[in-house]
Amino acid sequence: MSEDKIAKFREIVDGSHSIVFFGGAGVSVPSGIPDFRSSKGIYSEKTGYTYAPEEMISHEFFEIHPDMFFNFYFSKMVYPDALPNAAHLVLAKWEKQGILKAVVTQNIDGLHQMAGSKNVLELHGSVHRNYCQKCHRFFPLEEIDKTGIPKCPCGGIIKPDVVLYGEALDQSVLEQSIRSIASADTLIVGGTSLVVYPAAGLIRYFRGKHLVVVNLGNQSGSFFGPYDCLTIHDDIAKVFMAVDKYNTH
Ligand code: ZN
């Protein structure tokens, strides 16, 4: 990891008053949560077909094959024992210090809140919120059966409050995310390639001074804007730990 880049990142953070963090799957990887898109999917003997991850977590698949949906969901997307890593913890600390205004995340694991962050905008929902499709009763993750199709005492299927492919994003969360990004002086993008929706679209609203991109891969896309861009290709937990510890004096 380049010391110069960490120093520069520290300098940007120290000079900022309204940081917004935008995060993707890579933020949770150091917490032991792999990107579900990297999974091979699941083979069905019933249909003789291997379903791709993106196909399995679509609204249509949930309706047609709820058994296979929940099998994939509980084995590849829900990690009840995962803990926040340095990135989550440092972001929560910056919010407490008043310099970070919001975390916008594509992750559904709730690790930012577990780390202490308060203003977390979950674009894709959360595994921690679950509702009966019939009576709308709420169930925390701990209370639902993870070995099959989770059912409410009323007989309805309990659906996770997670945005599936083919479903619309929560409009209010999306609007709050846009407002936060539009009023940020520094935008930190972490653990996402930025080339896919909605990341690519949201970044267009940024009008601040500094864009910092922290991503392990090097296919972050390119940015053209009225801001300067610092790119760090490394493990996000390591980068945040280094920035937190970096001594400016
Ligand atoms: Zn019910």
Residue 113 has pLDDT above 70, yes or no: yes
At residue 36, the pLDDT reads 81
Q: Ligand 1 centroid to 149 CA: how many Å?
A: 13
18 and 59 together in one domain: no
Q: How far apart are CA 215 and CA 205, in angstroms?
A: 20
Q: What is the pLDDT of residues 7-44, one digit of tens each?
A: 999 999 999 999 999 999 999 999 999 888 777 777 77
240 and 147 together in one domain: no
184 and 144 together in one domain: no
Lowest mean pLDDT among 10-19, 52-61, 88-97, 192-201: 192-201
85 and 178 together in one domain: yes
22 and 88 together in one domain: yes
148 and 240 together in one domain: no
Q: Ligand 1 centroid to 249 CA: how many Å?
A: 58
Pairing of strands 158-162, 186-190: unpaired
Note whether residue 219 is domain-resident. yes
Q: What is the mean pLDDT of the chain?
A: 92
Q: Ligand 1 centroid to 140 CA: how many Å?
A: 14
**249 in active site:** no
The stretch 233-238 carries a mean pLDDT of: 95
Number of separate domains in the chain: 3
Note whether residue 146 is domain-resident. yes
Q: Ligand 1 centroid to 142 CA: how many Å?
A: 17
227 and 178 together in one domain: yes
Pairing of strands 228-232, 186-190: unpaired
Note whether residue 106 is domain-resident. yes
Q: Which domain CATH number covers 27? A: 3.40.50.1220
187 and 70 together in one domain: no
72 and 184 together in one domain: no
Q: What is the pLDDT of residues 153-178, one digit of tens each?
A: 999 999 999 999 999 999 999 999 99
Residue 144 · residue 171 · CB < 8 Å: no
Question: Which residues span the domain enclosing 146?
Answer: 128-162
Residue 218 has pLDDT above 70, yes or no: no
At residue 111, the pLDDT reads 98
Q: Burial, 222: exposed, middle or buried (Cβ in 10 Å; 0-12, 13-18, 19+)? A: exposed
Among the listed residues 88, 112, 124, 210, the single catalytic one is 124
Q: Burial, 102: exposed, middle or buried (Cβ in 10 Å; 0-12, 13-18, 19+)? A: buried
The stretch 131-141 carries a mean pLDDT of: 98
Residue 220 has pLDDT above 60, yes or no: no
Note whether residue 38 is domain-resident. no
